[in-house]
Amino acid sequence: MSTTVLVRRPLLGRLRGGFLAHGRLFQVCLVLLVAFVVVALFAPWLAPQDPTVGDFADTMAGPGAAHLLGTDQGGHDTFSALLVGTRTSLLGPLCVVAFSSAAGIGVGLFSGWRGGWVDAVIGRVLDILFAFPSLLLAILAVALFGKGLGGPVLAMAIAYMPYTARLVRGLTAQERTRPYVSAYLVQGHAPVFVAVRRLLPNLGPTVLAQSTVNFGYALLDLAALSFLGLGVQPPTPDWGAMINQAQAAVLQGQPLSAVVPAVAVVLVVVAFNVVGEQLGDRLARRDAR
């Protein structure tokens, strides 16, 4: 009866069923995400070398004792860059998700609760926002605010907002008709109190699942932006920027400094997707009962 449907891009939807059905993959991905977060928190202490300082005597080195995963053409230690790069690579999407979820919850709750023409207008505006590819919006922001993390994060927060807003709007409209909400109103509670303090917490888990999926996509988009040279600027380590800088090395037959951050991006995005979708599926099962 309840329709807890997450907005998904088709990218990883196909992978579901079969081997994804096992709870183990969910656990593995969860552990992986926790590991990445721990690395991000303690990166400066974990990294064996300073990734911003290049060792020009030892460029494009292979894996070895001195450099665990070799160096790029600037002599930066790939392993250290990977570890420290975790910070910016996760911080960007975190900001995107935080802003987009907060705004999406606000807009969705207001729209779904009010209903009527207000809801119709907001719905149309969200549809228009949906039409803009997030990456395009981010590039526009770069053109306006200059390179760096700030502009793209803001732009992407706006681009991701409709995903959460639409979900929250639908759930709120559905939840609002439930007798427990009517009961709160009949008791004399203020509508704002009922909507924010009583109705919203019941949507929490579903919104969390959507935000988790969004996180993975935001990371992918921001990495792409950095790869294009529009996002995080060197020497600040970042996975997308690392792949960009490794282009010369790839051409010279030393792909490791590009492959390592690329694998990290893929792992994190897949892990976030799996965790988010499984959370969504678990909620759907709970609703069905």
Partner 1 sequence: MTALLEVSHLRKTYGATTAVDGVSFSLPPGGALGLVGESGSGKTTTARMLVGLERPDSGTIRVLGEAPAATLRGRTARLARAKAVQMVFQDPYLSLDGRLTVGSTLDGVLRLHGCHDRATRASRVRELLAQVGLGEREAAALPRHLSGGQRQRAAIARALAVEPAVLVLDEAVSALDVSVQAQVLNVLTDIRREAGIGLVFVSHDLAVVRYVCDEALVLLRGRPVEHRPIADLLDDPGHPYTRLLLDSVPRPGWDPETIARRRREVHLAGQGDRFLREL
- Regarding 174 and contact with partner 1 (CB under 8 A), the answer is no
Q: Which of 11, 48, 136, 180 binds partner 1 (CB under 8 A)?
A: 180
Least gap, CB of 5 to partner 1 (angstroms) = 21
- Regarding 217 and contact with partner 1 (CB under 8 A), the answer is no
- Regarding 286 and contact with partner 1 (CB under 8 A), the answer is no
Instruction: State the amino acid at position 253 in one-letter form.
Output: G
DSSP, residue by residue, 32-86: HHHHHHHHHHHHHHH-SS-TTS--TTSTT--S-SSSTT-B-TT--BHHHHHHHHH
Q: Which of 32, 87, 129 is nearest to 219 (CA)?
A: 87
Q: Which of 9, 22, 124, 178 binds partner 1 (CB under 8 A)?
A: 178
Cα–Cα separations (whole angstroms), residue 77 to 22, 43, 121, 253 = 38, 14, 52, 17
Q: Which of 91, 198, 250, 283 binds partner 1 (CB under 8 A)?
A: 198
Least gap, CB of 193 to partner 1 (angstroms) = 9
Q: Do 53 and 67 touch, CB atoms closer than 8 A?
A: no
Least gap, CB of 185 to partner 1 (angstroms) = 7
Q: Which stretch binds partner 1 (CB under 8 A): 28-36, 52-60, 77-85, 184-192?
A: 184-192
Cα–Cα separations (whole angstroms), residue 160 to 104, 112, 126, 285 = 8, 18, 10, 26
Q: Do 240 and 230 touch, CB atoms closer than 8 A?
A: no
Q: Which stretch binds partner 1 (CB under 8 A): 20-28, 38-46, 178-186, 235-243?
A: 178-186
- Indicate the residue among 191 and 234 with the shorter CB distance to partner 1: 191
Question: Look-up: residue for tokens 């803009």?
Answer: 132
* Phi, psi torsion values for 36, nearest 5 degrees: -60, -40
Other C-beta atoms lying within 10 Å of the C-beta of residue 11: 13
Q: Which of 63, 225, 6, 200 is nearest to 134 (CA)?
A: 225
Query: Helices (DSSP H) in 115-199: which residue ranges?
Result: 116-131, 134-145, 150-176, 179-187, 191-193
Q: Which of 10, 18, 116, 188 binds partner 1 (CB under 8 A)?
A: 188
Q: Which of 202, 208, 235, 283 binds partner 1 (CB under 8 A)?
A: 202
Cα separation, 210 vs 200, whole angstroms: 15
- Regarding 183 and contact with partner 1 (CB under 8 A), the answer is yes
- Regarding 57 and contact with partner 1 (CB under 8 A), the answer is no
- Regarding 185 and contact with partner 1 (CB under 8 A), the answer is yes
Q: What is the per-residue binding string for partner 1 in 78-117, x denoting contact by CB under 8 A?
A: ----------------------------------------
- Regarding 120 and contact with partner 1 (CB under 8 A), the answer is no
Structure tokens at 1: 């009866």
Q: Which stretch binds partner 1 (CB under 8 A): 104-112, 179-187, 209-217, 220-228?
A: 179-187
Least gap, CB of 183 to partner 1 (angstroms) = 5
- Indicate the residue among 190 and 251 with the shorter CB distance to partner 1: 190
Least gap, CB of 140 to partner 1 (angstroms) = 42
Cα separation, 14 vs 17, whole angstroms: 8
Sites of contact with partner 1 (CB under 8 A):
178-180, 182-190, 198, 201-202
